[in-house]
Amino acid sequence: MKRRDFIRTSVGAGILVSAYPRSLFARLQTQGRRGTMFEKIWDAHVVANLGGETDLLQVDRCIDGSPNQVMRLVREGVELQNPEIFYNVPDHTVSTSPDRYTDQSLGSGWQAYEELADEMKELGFTKAFGQFDPRFGIMHVVGPETGLSQPGMVLCAGDSHTCTHGAMGLISWGGENSGNVLRTGTVIRHRPKTMRVNIVGQLGPGIRAKDVILRTIAQLGTDSGTGYAVEYAGPIVRALSQEARFSICNLAVEMASPTGTVSPDDTTYEYLAGREFAPSQRYWDQAVAFWRTLPTEDDAVFDREETIDMTGVEPQVTWGINPEHAIGINERIPDPDQAPTNKRATYRQAIEYSRLTPGEPILGTPIDEVFIGSCVDSRISDLRAAAAIVEGRRVASTLTSAWVVPGSNAVKAQAEAEGLDRVFKAAGFEWRESGCSKCYGSNGDYVEPGHRCVSNSNRNYIGRQGRETNTILASTTTVAASAIAGSIADVRTFL
Partner 1 sequence: MRQVLQRGGQSFEVHEGLAAPFMFDNVSTDVIAPALTEGLDTPRLGGGSNQGATAFANIRYNADGTPRRDFVFNQEAYRTASIMVVGKNYATGSSRITGVTRPLAAWGVRVYIGESFGPIFLTNALQYGVLTIELPRETLDEIVEWVESHHGVRMKVDLQRQLIELPGRDPIPFETDPRVRNKLLYGLHDLEEIEPHLPAARAKREQDEQERPWIYDSGNPQR
Quote the CA–CA distance of 208 and 230 in Å, as a whole number: 20
CB distance 218 to 184 below 8 Å: no
For partner 1, give the closer residue by CB, 73 or 301: 73
What is the three-class DSSP state of 17?
helix
> How many residues bind partner 1, per CB under 8 A?
84
What is the three-class DSSP state of 249?
helix
Sequence-ordered list of residues with C-beta below 8 angstroms from that of 282, at least 6 positions apart, any chain: none
- Confirm or reject binding of residue 371 to partner 1 (CB under 8 A): no
- Confirm or reject binding of residue 136 to partner 1 (CB under 8 A): no
**From 205-213, 222-230, 299-307, 393-401, span contacting partner 1 (CB under 8 A):** 222-230
- Confirm or reject binding of residue 219 to partner 1 (CB under 8 A): no
* Phi (first) and psi of residue 171, to 5 degrees: -115, 135
Q: Least CB distance from residue 281 to partner 1, whole Å?
A: 8
- Using DSSP bridges, classify how beta strands 316-318 and 326-328 pair: parallel, antiparallel or unpaired: antiparallel
Q: Which of residues 137-176 bind partner 1 (CB under 8 A)?
A: 147-148, 150, 152-153, 158-160, 173-176
Q: Which of residues 447-476 bind partner 1 (CB under 8 A)?
A: 449, 459, 461-464, 466-468
Quote the CA–CA distance of 469 and 463 in Å, as a whole number: 6
Q: Which of residues 323-342 bind partner 1 (CB under 8 A)?
A: 324, 342
CB distance 125 to 74 below 8 Å: no
For partner 1, give the closer residue by CB, 68 or 381: 68
Quote the CA–CA distance of 109 and 94 in Å, as a whole number: 8
From the list 250, 261, 256, 190, the residue with the least C-alpha distance to 225 is 256
For partner 1, give the closer residue by CB, 253 or 453: 253
- Confirm or reject binding of residue 188 to partner 1 (CB under 8 A): yes
Q: Least CB distance from residue 231 to partner 1, whole Å?
A: 16
- Confirm or reject binding of residue 241 to partner 1 (CB under 8 A): no
Q: Which of residues 428-447 bind partner 1 (CB under 8 A)?
A: 440-442, 446
Q: Which of residues 275-304 bind partner 1 (CB under 8 A)?
A: 276-284, 286-287, 290
- Confirm or reject binding of residue 134 to partner 1 (CB under 8 A): no
Q: Least CB distance from residue 305 to partner 1, whole Å?
A: 20
- Confirm or reject binding of residue 185 to partner 1 (CB under 8 A): yes
Q: At what angle do helices 476-485 and 380-390 cross, to 10 degrees?
A: 30
For partner 1, give the closer residue by CB, 6 or 25: 6
- Strand order across the beta sheet in which 259-261 lies: 259-261, 228-233, 193-200, 304-309
**Exactly one of 121, 183, 332, 384 binds partner 1 (CB under 8 A); which one?**
183
What is the three-class DSSP state of 19?
helix
